Amino acid sequence: MSTIVAPSLLAADFLNLERDIYMLNRSEADWIHLDIMDGIFVPNLSFGFAVTNLLKGVTQKPLDTHLMIVQPEKFTEEVAATGSTFMNVHYEVCPHLHRVVQQIRGKGMKPAVTLNPHTPVSVLEDILSELDMVLLMSVNPGFGGQQFIEQTLGKVARLKKMIEERGLKTLIQVDGGVNLQTGRKLVDAGADVLVAGSYIFSSDDPEEAIRGLKAL
């Protein structure tokens, strides 16, 4: 299976958002990754449903919504209404994670759980079989353009082992500081899905940057 590439819209040019979405449509990108922030769980705000609701009219690419917010369970209905395929919630904000995962599936979406850089993969032992994907943050969430945290590579390998031991098909996604060099190491360690924002959108040829990541 070739690497799944999910460009993060956070790094797009919001004055030319339609142009950037058409670029993604033409490209080999597999999904579009949407970063929603609340200024509470993470020290930044991004965009909300007013923006993400517009996408289903202009792209056929599956949407992957990464909620960096407290109480994400309040918004399953809204995320489903955007046409999102994946709803990604942080482990650190869900005391009743099992229930949230069921709620996401109940709305017809695929549940994914995100771990901050300091959160060990072992916390997922008893929920892994319920998940379609695990997102390992390779930067502290809240901003694009940060430096990749190398310890993520060991986490990817440990999570891969947990998935294989259980005979599961759970995807491993990594988000933050992904470029051709870090992407190569991540794929070698067992990552299935690479999220990349600034590497793609600050490139002179974003379509070529996407092609490069896909070929890893």
Can you tell me the distance from the alpha carbon of 151 to that of 69, in angstroms, rounded to the nearest whole number? 24
Neighbours of 50 (CB within 10 A): 7
Least distance CB 90 / Zn ion (angstroms): 10
Name the residue with the smallest CB distance to Zn ion. Answer: 66
Name the residue with the smallest CB distance to ligand DX5. Answer: 197
Active site residue 35: yes
Least distance CB 210 / Zn ion (angstroms): 16
Kindly tell me which of 145 and 154 has the beta carbon lying closer to ligand DX5: 145
The answer to whether residue 175 forms part of the interface with Zn ion (CB under 5 A) is yes
Q: Which stretch binds Zn ion (CB under 5 A): 18-26, 61-69, 75-83, 199-207?
A: 61-69
Least distance CB 36 / ligand DX5 (angstroms): 9
Q: What is the side-by-side strand order in the sheet with 171-175? A: 4-7, 193-196, 171-175, 133-137, 110-115, 86-90, 63-68, 32-37
The answer to whether residue 64 forms part of the interface with Zn ion (CB under 5 A) is no
Least distance CB 88 / Zn ion (angstroms): 8
The answer to whether residue 142 forms part of the interface with ligand DX5 (CB under 6 A) is yes
Active site residue 175: yes
Interface residues with ligand DX5 (CB under 6 A) are 8, 10-11, 33, 35, 66, 139, 141-146, 175-178, 195-199
